[in-house]
Amino acid sequence: MSASDSSSKGETPGTAVDEARPYEPHWLLRWVYKRFFTHIQVDERWSGVVRDAARKGVVVYVMRSLSLLDFLCLDFLLKRFGLPLVRFVNDLGLWILEPFGKGDRRLALRRQIPEHDALSEVLKSQFSALLFLRRPPRLGRPKRRGEEMETDLIRTLIESQRRASHPIFLVPQTFVWTKRPPQARRGLLDGVFGTVEWPGRLRVLLQFLFNYRNALLRSGEPFDLQEFLAENPDLTDAQLADKVRYALLRRMERERTLVLGPTKKTLGRIQDDLLRSPRIRKHIESEAKGSGRSIAKVEKEARKELSKLCANQQPYVVALLARFLDWVWNRIYDGIVIDEEGIERLREKARDGAIVLLPSHKSHVDYLVLSSVLYSRQLLPPLIAAGENLGFFPLGPILRRGGAFFIKRSFRGKKLYAALVDGYMRRLLVEGFPIEFFIEGGRSRTGKLLPPKYGLLSMVVDASLLLRARKVYFVPISIGYERIIEERSYMHELGGGEKQKENVGGLLRSSDILRSKYGRLYVHFGETISFDDLLEDALAEPLADETGEFDAEAILSGSVALKPRPSGDEAPARPKRDRQDLNPRERRVMIQRLAHLVTYQIDRVTVVTPAALVAMALLTHRQRGMTHADLLQTAECLLSALERQDARTAGQLRDENGAIRSDTVHEAIELFLDGKLIQRHGDGDEAIYKIPSERRIALEYYNNNVLHFFVPSALIAAALQVSAGKTITVQTLRERVRQLSKLFKYEFHFRADAAFEDIFEDALATMVAHDELVLHGDTVSPAPGRPGAIVDIYASMLRSYFEAYILALRSTGVLLERRELSRKEWYKQALATGQRMYLAGEIVRRESISKPKLETALKALKDYQLVKTSGDDLQCGRVLTDAVTLQALEKKLLPFLK
């Protein structure tokens, strides 16, 4: 039975939907449909949303502007997906075309009765209808919001709903025929043919003919008219109709904005608006007064800086980049694995407010991959904060038109420039553009997340504090790779080599990546953080440690938790505070807490890839070579431990029976063999894998991608190593782990919402529950046999860090002789010392000799007052009086290497 046959018998909507089948139109429309309409990209949720609404009541499709083309496309898609067919449409004389067939299946389109009566009759029979809310502007008479309809059919819907027992669902439908965003500046064509957002008939036709292969259908959330009437019993029908119409237009506008973005201004207009703002005017006047230059000269300099700063996103460049990047991804990657649920969460929040995207930063590919993913999911690519080093010709102009804006690495001593960046970021949020920047600042060369940088985040928080009418959401995103294309340059830098400046030659020399496969690429989204919720927590109660003193560093390192706000009877009465009551100290802590929540979320959603699992299994093995059987067994143990923490794992890691897939492990091994990161001796199950010493530092990069999941367990295991497997008290273990967490606080991220005690107790309980440790009263020891063997693996994960910190201690002795040394010279001498210690057997792991590890170790030494800094120079700290001090500290670390 066809859809029109089913619906013509007056069956209930649910039955009609269940039995609906696509209907075949006559030959002319069949040709038009096949030629043009089959290319339309449909919102994946669309058919499900409409079916669900049809099961509960009557569906009325709603569109913004009267259009024959939109009606024909909707008719085609309804028949294609077997959804409730339209039995009424306002203001279209379509019976000559008869898209629904002939005879008694003809629509109620012939105006034998008034429109409101025809619509009432259709709804009474529980059939679906289509309503256009406004007319397009007439030729030469454009209006900003189109023209009103002669008959207010929204009131007819309200009257019909009052008479009906079943709900009427108004489902907004938005066809996007062009990716060109609405323009603030109106041109001559806009005056004649209508604007992009409210096009006239001729412009609609031209947009369709030029863009039909990329056309989209977006569906808004259904509007439950019955529920709305129940919630507003005191309003008149006229008032209700105005509210319903406004709500529907808003929902359709939001769907268009998700794809096209907000109204775009010219670069000149943006610069003029920024330079006229009172805050920037104040900085211009201050700069002129301080430098002795005229205000006109300073303003000219500011305009020049803005021309370098501002993005100029162009839809045609975005489309070309998307096609090019699809080709590139297919050449160098085996696929991109996308968190589709995360995409939908992002879309939902984008409907509700401004979006700030905060991805991890491991590769230059990060700049491109997220925009490519969002564009393929019909979301506006963000405007991306990029380093000024990427603004070189010809890449810079291309990236700028793709959505990048370029900022200097440091704002130190540049108050006017900082004000310009702050004003530009604020403008983007106010106008509703999605923003993307990397909370780590630069790329991580180690595979771990870098400590968060607060500069741009502070600007966004300051802007959000002023945006009372707009919600702001922060979206943590993990972008992960099985192998990175910068592998070779990272090895060079980790070994102490100078960072190479990006240039065209460097990019051309990297063209050989197009002949390689780098595994899969993963894009996953963390839980969205609402700025309003964050602000409410910050205003609810001042933060203090157990002594009543504020200690942000203790909170962020995990030794003190952010205490939850008391509720109910426990909550003491206090005056309600507003956002302007936030003092500078509370603002600073709120920014720090936000930064650490973001990094924690990124870590939590980082995907455990086969490459990371294999790298960790190989690096934690203590022997020179590792058999294939041992590799599989260790990988299985590690994967099980990760799954217990609800870590996101690559779908191809386990087979249908739950066993680890040997073919997936084999693919990861081949990936590393291709990159010459490991060597294989023998074949098949008899194979033995060995890591060349000079390649361990590269393999550690992939190990570090998932190391954060194991840090609490690894600290406990390392603390147990000191006792050589003997039983120790829980209190002794706790104190050792506390000291280690303090030592490594710059090395690993600790949760900001849990105190050290909670983290320790959770990790200890988990290890005991899974028979990794044995708890006897108040004593603890590694479990015997195979279950306890993983404790040794956990401890092995931290060996390179202990060795690096011992190296840092050994290298600090030079300050006793020279009293002062530049950082650059100290790093150079420390790396040389490390090579000697490695050759002498004092360092076992080659990856311990790493500049990033020495950098974080130096921060720890500064905390322990062994060194102090004076500009870029290092000097002996208060505690460092002689070599005996360093030797004593080194002896304290050596037992952890047993």
Residue 15's pLDDT is 37
What is the C-alpha separation between 328 and 483, in angstroms, rounded?
15
Write the pLDDT tens digit of every residue in 227-251.
999 999 999 999 999 999 999 999 9
> 3-state class of 165 per DSSP?
coil
Tokens read off for 60: 């009325």
Query: Three-state SS across 535-552?
Result: HHHHHHCCCCCCCCCCCH
Q: Which helix (H) or strand (E) holds 741?
A: helix 730-743
What is the C-alpha separation between 636 and 619, in angstroms, rounded?
15
Looking at every residue in the chain, the average pLDDT score rounds to: 84
- Long-range contacts, stretch 100-105, CB < 8 angstroms, 24+ apart: 100/4, 100/23, 100/25, 100/75, 101/4, 101/23, 101/25, 101/26, 102/26, 104/8, 105/4, 105/5, 105/8
Residue 191's pLDDT is 59
Tokens read off for 100: 């629904």
CB contact at 8 A, 852 and 494: yes
CB contact at 8 A, 678 and 620: no
17 HSE (CA, 13 A, CB side) = 21
Q: How far is CA 432 from CA 138, 343, 465, in A?
A: 30, 18, 15
In 3D space, the residue among 456, 417, 424 whose CA is nearest the CA of residue 439 turns out to be 456
Least confident of 383-392, 731-740, 822-831: 383-392
Q: What letter represents residue 426's amino acid?
A: R
In 3D space, the residue among 880, 881, 875 whose CA is nearest the CA of residue 821 turns out to be 875
454 phi and psi, to 5 degrees? -105, -5
Spell out the residues 6+ positions from residue 441 whose beta carbon is closer than 8 angstroms to its own. Answer: 361, 450, 453, 455
Tokens read off for 295: 């205000």
What is the C-alpha separation between 94 and 133, in angstroms, rounded?
18
Write the pLDDT tens digit of every residue in 801-830.
999 999 999 999 999 888 789 999 999 999
What is the C-alpha separation between 447 and 671, in angstroms, rounded?
17
Q: Is 144 left (phi over 0), alpha (psi -120 to 50) or beta?
A: alpha
Least confident of 204-208, 304-308, 502-506: 502-506
What is the DSSP track for 761-775?
A: HHHHHHHHHTTSEEE
Cis peptide bond upstream of 182, omega within 30: no
Neighbours of 663 (CB within 10 A): 9
CB contact at 8 A, 749 and 726: no
Residue 148's pLDDT is 74
Average pLDDT on 163-179 reads 91
Neighbours of 269 (CB within 10 A): 12
Local confidence band at 699 (pLDDT 50, 70, 90 cut-offs): very high
Is the predicted pLDDT of residue 111 greater than 60, yes or no?
no
Instruction: Please report, rounded to a whole number, the percentage of residues in the chain having pLDDT higher than 70.
Output: 85
Residue 748's pLDDT is 92
Is the predicted pLDDT of residue 544 greater than 50, yes or no?
no
Residue 672's pLDDT is 93
Residue 395's pLDDT is 83
42 HSE (CA, 13 A, CB side) = 17
Strands (E), 715-778: 728-729, 773-776
What is the C-alpha separation between 612 and 883, in angstroms, rounded?
40
Burial class of residue 835, CB neighbours in 10 A (0-12, 13-18, 19+):
middle
Least confident of 252-256, 578-582, 793-797: 578-582
In 3D space, the residue among 440, 435, 442, 431 whose CA is nearest the CA of residue 460 turns out to be 435
Residue 826's pLDDT is 94
Spell out the residues 6+ positions from residue 653 whose beta carbon is closer than 8 angstroms to its own. Answer: 608, 610, 613, 639, 660, 661, 664
Q: Is 801 left (phi over 0), alpha (psi -120 to 50) or beta?
A: alpha
Instruction: Please report, rounded to a whole number, the percentage of residues in the chain having pLDDT higher than 90.
Output: 53
Average pLDDT on 839-855 reads 94
Local confidence band at 188 (pLDDT 50, 70, 90 cut-offs): low
**Torsion, Cα of 301, 304, 308, 309 (10° steps):** 60
Is the predicted pLDDT of residue 789 greater than 70, yes or no?
yes
> 3-state class of 130 per DSSP?
strand
**295-309 and 415-431 helices, crossing angle to 10°:** 50
Is the predicted pLDDT of residue 252 greater than 60, yes or no?
yes
Q: Which helix (H) or strand (E) holds 781?
A: strand 779-782
Neighbours of 159 (CB within 10 A): 16
